[in-house]
Structure formats: structure tokens, C-alpha cells
Amino acid sequence: MIGAVATQTVEIPDRRAVAESRLREASTMTLRTAPAALSSAEATSLIRRIAETQDRGAFAALFAYYFPRVKAYMLRVGASPAGAEEFAQEALLRVWRKADSFDPRAAAASTWIFVIARNLRIDRLRGERNIDGFERDPSEEPDAPPSGEAIAIMNERRSRLHAALAALPAEQAHIIELFYFEEHPQSEIARMLGVPLGTVKSRVRLAVQRLRAELEDLGS
């Protein structure tokens, strides 16, 4: 019953082609049940379909998976519910527009989308900026299409990252996570550990050094 009501609310009458409305309906279905998993290889291929043929079906699948997660990220970093919805919307539109600049050898799809969401938030906090994050040295960007092997390496790297985080003592892993998702990580860490703000810096430095060692141990 609730499902039927929700379906009606999304059926805004317009003059679009039938095929498109079918696509829309299909993807709203997916959206309501945000997919639990999207492999890095799948995400990579969706983004490349957007880049190559402006494939809206591919965008729908990417949107269904990432929109609720990017919105969750925006909420965690302090956006209001309405703001988070709008920022997530804009972030996903940037994904659409910039799809042809995605290079799966430079970063996994999740990394690329995280960076887009992060930069969008910075832009909005600071007022629009033109710079979209740190620009990599063009000489480091090979221009041949990525091999299956390169993509497999990226996938491998992603699971290693999880392993590196899991290898940290719980307190340090929590400190790292707070950095990504708290608006004021240092005061949150101080509160959590019950230590003065000055002590937080050294604890953070310790956690970061440990994480670095884990990442380097993994040899990725």
C-alpha cells in the first residue's frame, strides 16, 4: 500500500517518451530498495557507459546505489536533511557530467565519487570554487584504455584498504573514521577519548602513522 502511494508521488506527468518513463519507473523501484552492493568493476563499467553513450540506464543504476550513500555522507558531515538531498543530487549530476574524466587506473569508482562529493561540499562551504580538487600531474596519466588487469588491481586495492582499516586497533580506526565523517573531528575525538584537545593531535598522528604503515605493508 505504501509502495503504491510512493509510486504515485513519483509519477509526475510530463511529455516524455514511454521508454523513458519505463526506465524511470524501473529505477525508482531500485532506488527504494537501495542496492546493497555494487562491485568496483560494475561501477566502472556503468561510468564508462555514461561517458561513451550518455546511457541513462547506467546512470539510473549508479544513482540508485550512490545517491543514498552520498546523501548519508552529507548528513554525517553536517548538512541539513534538505541540504544533504540537494548536495547528493548535485554530486550525482557531477558524476554524469564528468564521467569522461573518470580514469579507473587512477582511482576506483568509489574513490572518484567520494572526491566529487567531498569537493562539492567544500565548494558549498566556501562558496563556489572553480578548482575541482588537487589536479594530478598530467604526465602521470597514461592515456591508453585501462586493461582488465589494471581494473582488477584497483578492485584488489579496495579490499586491501578495508583490511588496513580492520588491522588498526578499534580506537585508532574510529579516530580515522571520525576524520572522514565528523564536521569537527578533533573535538569529537577529544570528547570520545576524554582527553584534552591538545592531546588529540598526538593521538591522531599516531593513528595516521599506523594506518600508513598498514597501507604500505599491503604494498598497494
Residues of span 141-170 touching other proteins by CB under 8 A: 157-158, 161-162, 164-165
Q: What CA–CA distances, in Å, run from 32 to 25, 78, 121?
A: 11, 24, 25
By CB under 8 A, the residues from 64 to 103 that bind other proteins are: 64, 67-73, 75-77, 84-85, 88-89, 92-93, 96-97
Q: Using the rule CB under 8 A, which residue among 46, 121, 168, 172 binds other proteins?
A: 121
| C-beta closer to other proteins: residue 77 or 193 | 77
Site string for other proteins, 35-64 (x = CB under 8 A): ---------------------x--xx--xx
DSSP annotation of 140: G
Q: Using the rule CB under 8 A, which residue among 20, 52, 156, 217 binds other proteins?
A: 20
Closest approach, Cβ 106 to other proteins, in A, equals 8
Closest approach, Cβ 24 to other proteins, in A, equals 6
| C-beta closer to other proteins: residue 145 or 180 | 180
Closest approach, Cβ 30 to other proteins, in A, equals 9
Q: Is 93 exposed, middle or buried (0-12, 13-18, 19+ CB in 10 A)?
A: middle
186 three-class SS: helix
DSSP annotation of 77: T
Amino acid at 89: Q
Q: Which of 65, 146, 138, 62 is nearest to 103 (CA)?
A: 146
Q: Using the rule CB under 8 A, which residue among 129, 147, 169, 171 binds other proteins?
A: 129
- Does residue number 118 form part of the binding site for other proteins (CB under 8 A)? yes
Q: Rg of the chain over CA atoms, in angstroms?
A: 20
Distance between CA atoms of residues 33 and 28, nearest Å: 9
Nearest-10 Cα torsion for 181, 158, 140, 97 = -60
Closest approach, Cβ 89 to other proteins, in A, equals 6
